Each structure stands twice: as structure tokens, then as C-alpha cells.
Structure 1
Amino acid sequence: MSTKKALMLSVLIPVGLALALPVAAMGPGGAGGPGGERPSFTELDANADGSLTLEEMLAHRDARFAEADTDGDGNLSRDEMIAAAMGRVEERIDAQFERFDDNEDGLLSANELDDMRPRGPGPERLFARMDADGDGAISAEEFEAAQAHAMQRRGGGHGQGQGHGQGHRWGQSDEG
């Protein structure tokens, strides 16, 4: 290995590990699960000097662990993990109400919920895609083909469930 490669690896490997630590410390999917918020740069930059050190990242991880370890025994029980996750869920729901409860009545109407819908095709377009033969109904085969297509797009699920490997494509039928 050349000196240049060795130097580059000696820099890139620690940087890659340091960037992965906060996410790994929070469990699968980032901050406590799928869809969880990842810490901002500002949250990680404890001394506000505009750069992150490994120590700052480890301190953030340790603080998150200590916050979840409510009995202070150095371990996380199932109940502590559930409580920590539920706390994050509550925070996310509060943020959604703050953002989407337009009339501030403490309730989300169907119209307000529509505003929460992720960008992308609406239910009508999704239905039309799944209804490959255009008959106004989704058959079990069309449903399975749509599921298989969704799994392929997410890069997983090969060989799992029905509909995989049957030549179906989302929005196409076997009839042509």
C-alpha cells in the first residue's frame, strides 16, 4: 500500500466511524428507530467551536444512554427502552400538532391530516398504479405485485412473501 493510500485511509476510517457513532448509539434506524430524528450538528458540537470531535460524539451517545437508563444501573431494560421510545414518539406527535393543527383546536381534521401526507403520489394515483388491468379493483395478484415492487425499490425482501420473482411489475399485468 502506498503512503498516500495509507494516509488517506488513516483519515477516512476514523471520520467514517465518528459520523456513524451518533446514529449507531441511538439504535436501529437512527434516533431510536425508523423515522427518528438524528441529532443536529449544533447538538453534537458541545463546545460550539464549529467542529466535532470524537469525544463530543461519544459524550452525546453517553448522555442519550444515561437519559434512557432511568434507574442508573448501567443497563437498559425493555421498559426503559420503551419509555425512551415513547418519549420520542410523544415529542414527534407534539411537533406534528404544532405544525399541522391549523385552527389550534388540539385536534387534527381529515383536511389537516392531508397536509401531513408525505410528498408523492396521492391515493388515487397509487390505486391506479396498483390496478394494473384498469378494472377499478385491485386483485390479490395486483396487490402482491405492488408489494413486491415496493420491496424492490427499498432494496430488500428478496425471496420473502408472495409475489416475488413472478415476473410482475407495478402497473403491469400478465395480460400484456
Structure 2
Amino acid sequence: MTTISHMTVRIALTGLVIATGFAAKAATDGDNKGGKMRHERPSFSTLDTDSNGALTREEMAAHTKMRFDKMDANSDGQLSADELGQAGKKRAQKRAAKMIVRVDANDDGMISFEEMSAGKMGKRQTKMFDRIDADGNGSLSEDEFAKLGERRGGKNKRQKAGE
């Protein structure tokens, strides 16, 4: 495989990793802990509304109801696709702002390809490519690429549509 093709595969995989990461992060509030996406957890004292040192089902349900009501923009007691989408957008914007702070090496408020490829993200992408490259030849065969979908829990929508 030529150097240009090898680079093209790496760039495509970088885009795939980034797109997958943004989609997953947009669906949650929290950090990735132990490989699972989690919402930011409120403090115990926030949930313990009667300050008795114990959480009841009712206190937990009240917190869940508060989160629901916050997303229910028109207060009709139901969440529409638009309301859920707006909540997801807000979370995605918060995650994007945190990412810029973390990755923006020159503090210009933007992330260049070089900044994105360097450091932790670049290392992760390289590690993933090396893991997928089962024969270690520096390129991905069609079979190795197909196994990428299997590792992610099945084929993606484009692969299904193309069959």
C-alpha cells in the first residue's frame, strides 16, 4: 500500500473515531468511566433533600422528575423528539467546549487537525489502527476493516445499506 493510501486510511479512521465519539458523548452528560458513558452524578447531599443521611426511592424519583421537567420545554408532561434533541445539543455543546480547552494547544479557541491528531487523541487513533491491523503490515485489508464493525457491536448503517 502506498504512503498516500496508508495516510488516507488513517485520516478516514480518525474521522470515524471522532464522529463516533461526538455521537456517544452527545447522548450523555458525563465522562467515559470504565468504557461506559455516564451522566454527571449529583452529590449525595443534593439528592438527600431531607438531610437525614439516607436516600429514599422518593428522593431519587424526585431528582429524575426534576431532570425530566427541565427537558420538557413546553411543560406538557411529555418529551418530544425536538425537546430531546435540544437537551442533547446542550450536552454536546458543553462537551465540545471542554474538548477545545483540553486539545487546543495554541489557545486560539479552535482545534486544528494537527492539534487533534497530536497527544491523547492521536495516540488513541494509532493504537486503534494497530489493533485492527491484525497482520501488522501497516495497512487494513477488507477483512480487517469488516472486523472493525464487529468489534463495535455489529455493522454500521452504511455497511447494511450496501449489502
Q: Which letter does structure 2 place at the counterpart of 1:38?
A: E
Question: Which sections of structure 1, spanning at least 5 residues, go unmatched?
Answer: 1-28, 163-176
The answer to whether 1:87 aligns with 2:90 is: yes
The answer to whether 1:58 aligns with 2:61 is: yes
Shift of 1:45: 3.3
Q: State the partner residue of 1:140.
A: 142
For 1:54-90, what per-residue CA distance to the aligned partner results, in whole angstroms no more than 9, with x for missing partners?
Answer: 2221111111111111111111111111111111111
Q: State the partner residue of 2:48.
A: 45
Q: Higher helix share goes to which structure?
A: 2
Which one of the candidate residues 96, 107, 111 is aligned to 2:110? 107
Measure the CA separation in 2 of the matches of 1:50 and 1:108. 45
Which one of the candidate residues 117, 121, 125 is aligned to 1:117? 121
Q: Which letter does structure 1 place at the counterpart of 2:68?
A: F
Q: Secondary structure at the match of 2:84?
A: helix
Deviation >4 Å, runs of 4+: 29-32, 47-50
Higher-Rg structure is 1
The answer to whether 1:130 aligns with 2:132 is: yes
Measure the CA separation in 1 of the matches of 2:110 and 2:51. 39
Q: In percent, how many aligned pairs have the same letter?
A: 34
Question: Which sections of structure 2, spanning at least 5 residues, go unmatched?
Answer: 1-26, 31-35
The answer on whether the counterparts of 2:28 and 2:91 sit within 8 Å (CA) in structure 1 is no
The answer on whether the counterparts of 2:28 and 2:88 sit within 8 Å (CA) in structure 1 is no
TM-score (norm: length of structure 2):
0.57
Larger RCO: Structure 1 or Structure 2 (Cα < 8 Å, ≥ 6 residues apart)? 2
Q: State the partner residue of 2:11.
A: none
Measure the CA separation in 2 of the matches of 1:138 and 1:112. 25
Measure the CA separation in 1 of the matches of 2:141 and 2:96. 35
Q: State the partner residue of 1:165.
A: none
Q: Which letter does structure 1 place at the counterpart of 2:39?
A: E
Measure the CA separation in 2 of the matches of 1:104 and 1:147. 36
Q: State the partner residue of 2:7.
A: none
